[in-house]
Amino acid sequence: MTDPVLGMVMLGSFILVILLGFPVAFTLMAMGIGFGYVSMQERVFDLLVQRTYAVMANDVLISVPLFIFMGYVIERANILDRLFRALQLASGGLPGALAVATLATCAMFATATPQSSAGMADPAKIIQSHSARHRGWRSLLRNSKATPRTIRAASMRKSAR
């Protein structure tokens, strides 16, 4: 089987197996071993052992479970919600207080999280729930993920009234 044909068969079977409902990680692992055996025969098992050892020897990956644990602790202890509320009360007299509290909370929380997309999911959820309590903001925030620009614009409009 030529390489382009093998690639197309892999892609088609990957999509089929995912649509059947199998988890992505197990699908990729099984397809990698299966199609690796088809194209490289017995060498695929040597490569599997070598790559497994290389991942286990990587010192940087030790921090992944610790970051997951830290996110769990922050979520369960309600630290982010209390931080946002304290910053919102502290900047209450400023125009755009919600935007100031949002930016400060996200900046403080971003120092403790490894990736911005994962790190900003919790602040966006908390900020959106706080923002939705204000009259007239529910329709504005329904389609947004509480970005600082959206909150700042809405906060400035609300403070101008």
Q: How many CA atoms lie within 13 A of 113 on its CB side?
A: 22
SS3 state at 98: helix
Alpha-carbon span 15 to 11, nearest angstrom: 6
* Inter-helix orientation angle 43-56/24-40, to 10°: 140
User: Is 153:98 a contact under the CB 8 Å cutoff?
Assistant: no
Alpha-carbon span 160 to 156, nearest angstrom: 6
The residue-averaged pLDDT of 68-80 equals 78
- Indicate whether this model's pTM tops 0.85: no
pLDDT tier for residue 143 given thresholds of 50, 70 and 90: very low
C-alpha distances (whole Å) from 100 to each of 12, 73, 87, 111, 118 are 49, 25, 8, 17, 21
User: Is 35:6 a contact under the CB 8 Å cutoff?
Assistant: yes
Residue 11, domain extent: 3-58
Residues 79, 22 within the same domain: no
155 CB-near residues (< 8 Å, 6+ apart): 95, 96, 97, 98, 99
Alpha-carbon span 78 to 130, nearest angstrom: 14
User: Is 93:103 a contact under the CB 8 Å cutoff?
Assistant: no
Domain count, the chain: 2
Residues 120, 75 within the same domain: yes
User: What is the reported pLDDT for 121?
Assistant: 58
Residues 28, 90 within the same domain: no
Residues 89, 116 within the same domain: yes
Supply 60's token pair: 């940087």
Alpha-carbon span 120 to 109, nearest angstrom: 8
Residues 73, 141 within the same domain: yes
Residues 109, 94 within the same domain: yes
The answer to which of 12-21, 25-34, 73-82, 109-118 has the lowest mean pLDDT is 109-118
Residues 86, 156 within the same domain: yes
State yes or no: pLDDT of 30 exceeds 90. Answer: yes
Domain-ending residue, one of 12, 28, 58? 58
Residues 101, 141 within the same domain: yes
Residues 77, 25 within the same domain: no
State yes or no: pLDDT of 136 exceeds 50. Answer: no
Residues 69, 98 within the same domain: yes
Of 4 and 76, the structure prediction assigns the larger pLDDT to 4
Residues 29, 44 within the same domain: yes
In this prediction, what percent of the chain has a pLDDT beyond 90? 25
Residues 126, 49 within the same domain: no
Domain-ending residue, one of 58, 75, 99? 58
